[in-house]
Chains A and B, each alone.
Chain A
Amino acid sequence: MDLAFTKEEIAFREEVREFFKNNVPPETRRKLQEGRHLSKDEMVTWWRILNKKGWGVTHWPKEYGGTGWTTVQHYIFNEELQSYPAPQPLAFGVSMVGPVIYTFGNEKQKKEYLPRIANVDDWWCQGFSEPGSGSDLASLKTKAERRGDKWIINGQKTWTTLAQHADMIFCLCRTDNNAKKQMGISFIVFSMKSKGVTVRPIQTIDGGHEVNEVFFDDVEVPVENLIGEENKGWDYAKFLLGNERTGIARVGVSKERLRRIRALASKVESGGRPVIEDPAFREKLTACEIELKALELTQLRVVADEGKHGKGKPNPASSVLKIKGSEIQQTTTELLMEIIGPFAAPYDEHGDAGSNESMDWTAQIAPSYFNNRKVSIYGGSNEIQRNIISKAVLGL
């Protein structure tokens, strides 16, 4: 057992840090630190900088533009990216549909889509959840009917993150109504500009616009847009969701936020002294730091295990990552709320516009607290994660 990084790994971390320092646009970093939303341009600009460096799709196979890094290098890269902070690659393209295409797609699809994903020439969104299919995803109803050389798609998706920016969607569609529910689903990709696609914004409780409803009304999609085999879509979806086991903990994000909490709590006063000098507050903060340290170690155990034994059989500890990672993220937003106390109240209707100078430093704290309730819901709610642990790990 040895916790230390090797000399090469430490040098690699320095290289990554140095690159972020010199290349992340300062305004982008500031907005992330303050919990603000980035514009599409800001995100795409950064991703293209990353891609130019050859770090756009780090974990892909080398032949498609990946880096061939070790699992530890991937870990270091993600940690540094999250804690700098810089925008993470667009998961829908890079972590989700990309791997499905290079694993199950045909040569033509690989050539057509993969380079455009890497450079974010296409912004991808995910068409999985439906109004009646959340945790029970396999009950989805959006239908794709074969008519000649076309799929005709009808139905509705929801919680579609950043669909307002999207050029492409990967969609789970029912292609066989008679099969058992998991067996009749196909994985189809198509343009969001297609006739019959309507995007309607959903405003979340923080006032932001991250998610959308997407309606399909007789959308015509060429048959060759099916990825892999017809009616095997559920397998690809499971593959996609199981692909990123460790990033979900978002340890780097929480680390960055804890640093911000310490800094802010040293400035803001309460009871005639900085909040950080209040033992009750400080102990809550420390407790959160300890939880995060434990999670970081748990994540490292999973990473080290994957490095050694491959991704075939996940370390049972991996199922801890989503639950604890989301709880800790939520705790950090609660601590920020505690620091600003009554100044949490003013609501900046225009969000990113920064219309009111006086509340600049507090403006995003309450929205970020409200917004972060999502992290224990999405990606398989924490209750679903507990089902997974009890079944897959404990055998209940």
Chain B
Amino acid sequence: MDFDLSEEQRLLKESVDGLLADAYDFDARKKYMKEKGGWSQALWGKLAEQGLLGLPFAETDGGFGAGAVETMIVMEALGKALVVEPYLATVVVAGGFLRHGGSAEQKAKFIPGIIDGSKTFGFAQLEKNSRYDLFDVVTTAKKKGDGWVIDGEKFVVLNGENADTLIVTARTKGGQRDKAGIGVFLVPADAKGVTKKGYPTQDGLHAADITFTNVEVGADAAIGDPENGLPLIERVADEARIALCAEAVGAMDESLKETVEYIKTRKQFGVAIGSFQSLQHRAADMFVALEQARSMSMFATMASDFSDAKERSSAVAAAKVQVGKSLKFVGQQSIQLHGGIGMTMEAKIGHYFKRLTMIENTLGDTDYHLRRVSEGGGLLA
């Protein structure tokens, strides 16, 4: 039992923290958000240069063969700096599909572009009525010759407008909520029949609603078994949830720091407002919430390698519940303790709150995951 980072992991943390401290203060972020597509190609290039985009990939695929802990370290750092670049969509999600389900040809074709920063991805999964159920899919992929024809509508695809390639979940057989018959397909974003409507999101990212009309792709577009893709989707979604938990811990950590700093310096009635016990206790409760979330983020990180998928899912869902509760409390109270200034677009704290709020609603909110753990028989073995 050991919660410490290894020497290499410590160095990784130092290097990613250092890079973001130099290149990603609040003003820089505002600048990046104004660039084409809403994020900075130059910054993305720096992440690639430091090897951060290649971390989780096998050395034989040109990566560094790093594990879940390394992703946790990076995501926490990205959360602290409120990074808007598409790391989750590209490295974690698309990277996850390729690593766990991709054929040798698919890996060779797509992974180098991720690692060198030249290509980004979007995960087209959410549908109008699917909410958080990954198996609820009406988009279809019908066999045509060797290849497939995809039809359907997907929503809030992060980085969807800018992605070079979309990873699309589509039904190859069965009804809307059947667990079998779902495939995962690589679709070039500029394929004929793909229409995108892009927009900024509440938390400063970019997403798109995407319509697929008679989109033809080859046989090599399918990742894994096109008739039984759900286990793969669940595995990758779990890895994305784990990454989101770590990102949230980073954002909460920084929110609490900013808030404590603020109440130490803000004076009213002639004293720092942090000298008032009601505020001190609120801050203490925020610390408790943060540490509980940090513990569960670590737990989920270590669960990502559990061999039993049910055990893994239950651990990750539990983490998402704890992180969801904690982030709501820390986020809301950060605004409260900042007072009026916390309500302004100008102050950084509100942007943490918004990112945290969106994290809760990504890939299953607190209630959704609580129900999953509950229906699975609870957490006590």
Chain A residues within 8 Å of B, Cβ to Cβ: 1-6, 9, 72, 255, 258-259, 262, 279, 282-283, 285-287, 289-291, 293-295, 297-298, 300-301, 303-305, 308, 316-317, 320, 323-324, 383, 385-387, 389-391, 393-396
| Pair B379/A286 contact, Cβ less than 8 Å | yes
| Pair B380/A305 contact, Cβ less than 8 Å | no
Other A-B contacts than A301-B298, A389-B284, 7 sampled, CB-CB below 8 A, are A286-B370, A289-B373, A294-B292, A295-B292, A297-B295, A320-B287, A387-B281
Residue of B nearest to A9 (CB): B1
| Pair B281/A386 contact, Cβ less than 8 Å | yes
Considering the chains assembled together, what is the distance between the CA atoms of A121 and B158 in angstroms? 69
| Pair B378/A386 contact, Cβ less than 8 Å | no
- Residues on A with C-beta less than 8 A from B157 are none
- Among listed B2-10, B140-148, B194-202, interface-contacting one: B2-10
Q: Using known A-B contacts A4-B1, A297-B295, determine if residue A393 contacts B287 with beta carbons closer than 8 Å.
A: yes
Q: Using known A-B contacts A286-B370, A297-B298, A383-B281, determine if residue A304 contacts B3 with beta carbons closer than 8 Å.
A: yes
- B90 within 8 A of partner (CB): no
Chain B count of residues within 8 A CB distance of the other chain = 42
| Pair B283/A396 contact, Cβ less than 8 Å | yes
Give the interface centre of B285, B291, B373 by most chain A CB atoms within 10 Å.
B291
Considering the chains assembled together, what is the distance between the CA atoms of A323 and B370 in angstroms? 23
- B329 within 8 A of partner (CB): no
- Residues on A with C-beta less than 8 A from B318 are 289-290, 293
- Residues on B with C-beta less than 8 A from A262 are 378, 380
**Binary contact readout B269-302 vs A (1 if CB under 8 angstroms, 0 otherwise):** 0000011010111011101100111111011011
- B246 within 8 A of partner (CB): no
| Pair A396/B2 contact, Cβ less than 8 Å | no
- B165 within 8 A of partner (CB): no
| Pair A290/B379 contact, Cβ less than 8 Å | yes
- Residues on B with C-beta less than 8 A from A258 are 380
Residue of B nearest to A76 (CB): B1
| Pair A394/B284 contact, Cβ less than 8 Å | yes
Q: Using known A-B contacts A3-B302, A286-B379, A290-B373, determine if residue A389 contacts B4 with beta carbons closer than 8 Å.
A: no
Considering the chains assembled together, what is the distance between the CA atoms of A282 and B288 in angstroms? 25
Q: Using known A-B contacts A1-B3, A3-B302, determine if residue A320 contacts B292 with beta carbons closer than 8 Å.
A: yes
Classify the secondary structure of B's interface with A.
helix
- B267 within 8 A of partner (CB): no
| Pair A259/B288 contact, Cβ less than 8 Å | no
**Binary contact readout B54-85 vs A (1 if CB under 8 angstroms, 0 otherwise):** 00000000000000010000000000000000
- Residues on A with C-beta less than 8 A from B30 are none
Considering the chains assembled together, what is the distance between the CA atoms of A393 and B299 in angstroms? 23
From 328 to 372 in chain B, residues with beta carbon under 8 angstroms from any chain A beta carbon are 370-371
Considering the chains assembled together, what is the distance between the CA atoms of A169 and B292 in angstroms? 38
Considering the chains assembled together, what is the distance between the CA atoms of A259 and B301 in angstroms? 26
- B264 within 8 A of partner (CB): yes
Name 26 interchain pairs, CB-CB below 8 A, sorted by A.
A1-B4, A1-B69, A1-B302, A3-B299, A72-B1, A279-B374, A282-B378, A287-B321, A287-B370, A289-B379, A289-B380, A290-B296, A293-B296, A294-B296, A300-B1, A301-B295, A304-B4, A316-B287, A320-B287, A320-B292, A383-B281, A386-B284, A389-B283, A389-B288, A394-B280, A396-B263
Residue of B nearest to A387 (CB): B280
- B169 within 8 A of partner (CB): no
> B118: shortest Cβ distance to chain A, in Å?
32
B1's partner among A283, A285, A286, A304 (CB-CB below 8 A) is A304
Considering the chains assembled together, what is the distance between the CA atoms of A285 and B376 in angstroms? 13
Considering the chains assembled together, what is the distance between the CA atoms of A290 and B374 in angstroms? 10
**Binary contact readout B142-184 vs A (1 if CB under 8 angstroms, 0 otherwise):** 0000000000000000000000000000000000000000000
> A6: shortest Cβ distance to chain B, in Å?
8
| Pair B378/A289 contact, Cβ less than 8 Å | yes
| Pair A294/B295 contact, Cβ less than 8 Å | yes
| Pair B299/A259 contact, Cβ less than 8 Å | no
Q: Using known A-B contacts A279-B374, A286-B374, A387-B280, determine if residue A297 contacts B287 with beta carbons closer than 8 Å.
A: no
Give the interface centre of B69, B279, B285 by most chain A CB atoms within 10 Å.
B285
Give the interface centre of A3, A4, A393 by most chain B CB atoms within 10 Å.
A3
- B322 within 8 A of partner (CB): yes
| Pair A1/B378 contact, Cβ less than 8 Å | no
- B260 within 8 A of partner (CB): yes
- Residues on A with C-beta less than 8 A from B379 are 286, 289-290, 293
Considering the chains assembled together, what is the distance between the CA atoms of A85 and B5 in angstroms? 35
Residue of A nearest to B2 (CB): A2
From 1 to 25 in chain B, residues with beta carbon under 8 angstroms from any chain A beta carbon are 1-5, 9
- Residues on B with C-beta less than 8 A from A385 are 284
> B293: shortest Cβ distance to chain A, in Å?
8
Q: Using known A-B contacts A258-B380, A279-B374, A395-B260, determine if residue A293 contacts B299 with beta carbons closer than 8 Å.
A: yes
B280's partner among A255, A317, A390 (CB-CB below 8 A) is A390
| Pair B296/A297 contact, Cβ less than 8 Å | yes
- Residues on A with C-beta less than 8 A from B284 are 385-387, 389-390, 393-394
- Residues on B with C-beta less than 8 A from A72 are 1
Considering the chains assembled together, what is the distance between the CA atoms of A153 and B301 in angstroms? 57
Give the interface centre of A255, A293, A383, A387 by most chain B CB atoms within 10 Å.
A293
Q: Using known A-B contacts A262-B380, A298-B292, A393-B287, determine if residue A2 contacts B1 with beta carbons closer than 8 Å.
A: yes
Considering the chains assembled together, what is the distance between the CA atoms of A181 and B3 in angstroms? 41
Considering the chains assembled together, what is the distance between the CA atoms of A72 and B3 in angstroms? 13
| Pair B280/A386 contact, Cβ less than 8 Å | yes
**Binary contact readout B244-265 vs A (1 if CB under 8 angstroms, 0 otherwise):** 0000000000001000100110
**Binary contact readout B86-120 vs A (1 if CB under 8 angstroms, 0 otherwise):** 00000000000000000000000000000000000
Q: Using known A-B contacts A287-B370, A293-B299, A295-B292, determine if residue A305 contacts B287 with beta carbons closer than 8 Å.
A: no
Considering the chains assembled together, what is the distance between the CA atoms of A300 and B1 in angstroms? 8
Considering the chains assembled together, what is the distance between the CA atoms of A164 and B246 in angstroms? 51
- Residues on A with C-beta less than 8 A from B4 are 1, 304, 308
Residue of A nearest to B376 (CB): A286
Give the interface centre of B9, B263, B293, B322 by most chain A CB atoms within 10 Å.
B322
- Residues on A with C-beta less than 8 A from B283 are 389-390, 394, 396
Considering the chains assembled together, what is the distance between the CA atoms of A297 and B301 in angstroms? 12
Considering the chains assembled together, what is the distance between the CA atoms of A3 and B315 in angstroms? 13
> A340: shortest Cβ distance to chain B, in Å?
20
- Residues on A with C-beta less than 8 A from B299 are 3, 293-294, 297
Considering the chains assembled together, what is the distance between the CA atoms of A386 and B380 in angstroms? 29
Residue of B nearest to A280 (CB): B374
Considering the chains assembled together, what is the distance between the CA atoms of A291 and B260 in angstroms? 25
| Pair A386/B296 contact, Cβ less than 8 Å | no
**10 shortest A-B CB distances, which residue pairs?**
A297-B295, A390-B280, A386-B284, A389-B284, A286-B374, A289-B379, A294-B292, A386-B281, A298-B295, A396-B274
A323's partner among B275, B279, B288, B293 (CB-CB below 8 A) is B288
Considering the chains assembled together, what is the distance between the CA atoms of A6 and B379 in angstroms? 23
